[in-house]
Amino acid sequence: MSHFLETLRASAAVERVVVQPDIVVDTLESLLVDQNEGPMLPQQLAAFRRDWPSVELPVMAGHGDLSPGNILMHDDRADVIDWEGGTYRRPALVDIVVFLYRYALAHPDPLSVPRRTRGRLAGFRRAFLGDGWLARLSAASYCREITKLNIPVQAADFLLIATMADLATGASVTHRPTLPRSRRFWTNALRTYLRQHDSSSLLRELGQGPTTVAGSP
């Protein structure tokens, strides 16, 4: 997957966009904050607004729907199919976040629970929350891609949240980005990640430990 992405990204000119924390937090508030959310999430967003840095993110060619089901393996070669998302330029982390979530969703559950039974959010949790082997692998893979893009790895958590916000609003250039079902899923994934932020596998990978502003699961 990594080699494929590097080759694809090199096929088009790279642009750059500055990801501003104020804009990301405004988006999160519009997506997530309601009267039933309680006081913790607004406090958490206020801390993000105060502590997050601005980050310059490359915008380059991508797939838009990268998942194990769209990768055909033959010996040591990987061919990628299903290009309905197009090779349009998009923030570089979209394909990585989508792939890691889809990989966790497709990977056999340790308890052999059917995917339709355990739900799509369970796949997201396996990829980005907790201390299981798959969450550790996902975090290490994500941080490795961050480093390859010459982005400070300390921004990994912020950029994961910003990428999910783009997916939740339909702003990312993916396959059917404004599909209500897709937007609902990423909005719920955002809420889940923020409320269980203290169990983020990325924070463990970065050695930042549990946060003090996140809500409990």
- What is the average pLDDT across 39-63? 83
Please give the Cα distance from 145 to 152 (Å, whole number): 11
Q: Considering only residues 165 and 62, tell me which one the structure prediction assigns the higher pLDDT.
A: 165
In a domain, 145, yes or no: yes
210 contacts: CB under 8 Å, gap ≥ 6: 198, 199, 203
pLDDT above 90 for 202? yes
In a domain, 197, yes or no: yes
pLDDT above 80 for 83? no
In a domain, 34, yes or no: yes
Q: What is the pLDDT of residue 214?
A: 37
Please give the Cα distance from 105 to 151 (Å, whole number): 27
**Cβ count near 16 (within 10 Å):** 10
pLDDT above 80 for 35? no
Q: How far is CA 196 from CA 13, 32, 108, 187, in A?
A: 37, 14, 23, 14
pLDDT above 50 for 217? no
Q: What is the pLDDT of residue 20?
A: 92
44: domain range?
Answer: 19-57+92-205
In a domain, 215, yes or no: no
pLDDT above 50 for 50? yes
In a domain, 72, yes or no: no
pLDDT tens figures, 105-141: 887 665 544 455 457 888 899 999 998 899 999 999 9
In a domain, 62, yes or no: no
Q: Considering only residues 160 and 175, tell me which one the structure prediction assigns the higher pLDDT.
A: 160
In a domain, 85, yes or no: no
Q: What is the pLDDT of residue 34?
A: 65
In a domain, 131, yes or no: yes
Q: What is the pLDDT of residue 90?
A: 73
pLDDT above 80 for 38? no
Count structural domains, the chain.
1
